Amino acid sequence: MRWTKTLVATLREEPQEAEIISHKLLLRAGLIRRLAGGLYTFLPLGLRALRKVEAIVREEMDRAGALEVLMPALQPAELWEQSDRLTTMGPNMFKLKDRHDRLMTLGPTHEEVITDLVSREISSYRQLPATFYQIQTKFRDEIRPRFGLMRAKEFIMKDAYSFDVSSEAADASYKAMYDAYKRLFARCGLRTKPVEADTGDIGGSSSHEFMVMAEAGEDAVIECSKCSYAANVERAERRVTVAQPAGDTPATLKVDTPDVRTIAAVSAFLKVPPAKLIKTVIYLADNKPVAALVAGDREINEPKLKRALDAKTLEIAPDNIVTEVTDAPVGFAGPVGLSIPIYADLSLTNAADMVTGANAADAHLLHVDLTRDANVTAYRDISVVNAGDACPRCNGELCVARGIEVGHVFKLGTKYTEAFEATYQDESGKAEPIVMGCYGIGVTRVLQAIVEQSHDNNGVIWPVSTAPYAVGLLSLDPSDTAVAATVTELEAQLEAAGIDVLVDDRDERPGVKFKDADLIGFPLRVVVGAKGLAKGFIEIKQRSAVESVFAPPAEALETIQKTINTMLAELTAGQP
Partner RNA sequence: CGGGGAGUAGCGCAGCCUGGUAGCGCGUUUGGUUCGGGACCAAAAGGUCAGGGGUUCGAAUCCCCUCUCCCCGACCA
Which residues of this protein are in contact with RNA, per CB under 7 A? 10-20, 23, 34, 36-38, 92, 109, 140, 142-147, 149-152, 155, 157, 200-202, 209, 218-219, 302-303, 405-408, 440-442, 444-445, 458, 476-477, 509-512, 514-516, 518-519, 527-532, 539, 541, 548
Put the strands of the sheet holding 363-368 in their side by side order.
253-256, 363-368, 354-357
Judged by CB, which is closer to RNA: 59, or 539? 539
Judged by CB, which is closer to RNA: 20, or 291? 20
Judged by CB, which is closer to RNA: 249, or 383? 383
Judged by CB, which is closer to RNA: 139, or 379? 139
Answer whether the bond into residue 553 is a cis peptide, omega within 30°. no
Identify any residues that bridge with 163 across adjacent strands, giving them in sequence order: 130, 436
Q: Least CB distance from residue 163 to RNA, whole Å? A: 18
Q: Least CB distance from residue 357 to RNA, whole Å? A: 22
Q: What is the DSSP string of 81-139?
A: HHTTHHHHTGGGSEEEE-TT--EEEE-S--HHHHHHHHHHH--BGGG-SEEEEEEEEEE
Give long-range contacts, CB 8 A cutoff, 24+ apart: 319-325.
321/282, 321/284, 321/289, 322/282, 325/282, 325/289, 325/291
Closest alpha carbon to 145 in 218, 68, 212, 62: 218
Judged by CB, which is closer to RNA: 283, or 424? 283
**Calpha distance 120→118 (Å, rounded):** 5
Q: Least CB distance from residue 249 to RNA, whole Å? A: 35
Contacts (Cβ under 8 Å, ≥6 apart) of 496? none
Q: Least CB distance from residue 521 to RNA, whole Å? A: 11
Q: Least CB distance from residue 535 to RNA, whole Å? A: 9
Q: What are the E-state strand segments in 250-361?
A: 253-256, 278-285, 288-295, 314-316, 342-345, 354-357
Residue 379: φ, ψ to 5°: -105, 120
Judged by CB, which is closer to RNA: 282, or 352? 282
Judged by CB, which is closer to RNA: 111, or 373? 111
SS3 letters across 466-535: CCCCCEEEEECCCCCHHHHHHHHHHHHHHHHCCCCEEEECCCCCHHHHHHHHHHHCCCEEEEECHHHHHC
Judged by CB, which is closer to RNA: 146, or 380? 146
Q: What is the DSSP letter of 264?
A: H
Q: Least CB distance from residue 54 to RNA, whole Å? A: 14
**Calpha distance 496→169 (Å, rounded):** 45
Identify any residues that bridge with 280 across adjacent strands, giving them in sequence order: 293
Q: Least CB distance from residue 383 to RNA, whole Å? A: 14
Check if the beta carbon of residue 75 is closer than 8 Å to that of residue 495.
Answer: no
Q: Least CB distance from residue 407 to RNA, whole Å? A: 5
**Calpha distance 443→26 (Å, rounded):** 15
Closest alpha carbon to 508 in 1, 73, 102, 8: 8
Judged by CB, which is closer to RNA: 105, or 423? 105
Q: Least CB distance from residue 481 to RNA, whole Å? A: 15
Q: Write the Ramachandran bin of 362: left for phi over 0, alpha for psi from -120 to 50, otherwise beta.
A: left
Judged by CB, which is closer to RNA: 61, or 165? 61
Q: Least CB distance from residue 388 to RNA, whole Å? A: 20
Q: Least CB distance from residue 488 to RNA, whole Å? A: 17
Judged by CB, which is closer to RNA: 128, or 502? 502
Q: Least CB distance from residue 36 to RNA, whole Å? A: 4
Judged by CB, which is closer to RNA: 114, or 365? 114
Judged by CB, which is closer to RNA: 392, or 442? 442
Residue 555: its H or E element: helix 553-572
Q: What is the DSSP letter of 170?
A: H
Q: Least CB distance from residue 100 to RNA, whole Å? A: 28
Q: How far is CA 508 from CA 4, 13, 516, in A?
A: 11, 18, 11
Check if the beta carbon of residue 197 is closer than 8 Å to that of residue 207.
Answer: yes
Q: Is 569 exposed, middle or buried (0-12, 13-18, 19+ CB in 10 A)?
A: exposed
**Calpha distance 236→195 (Å, rounded):** 9
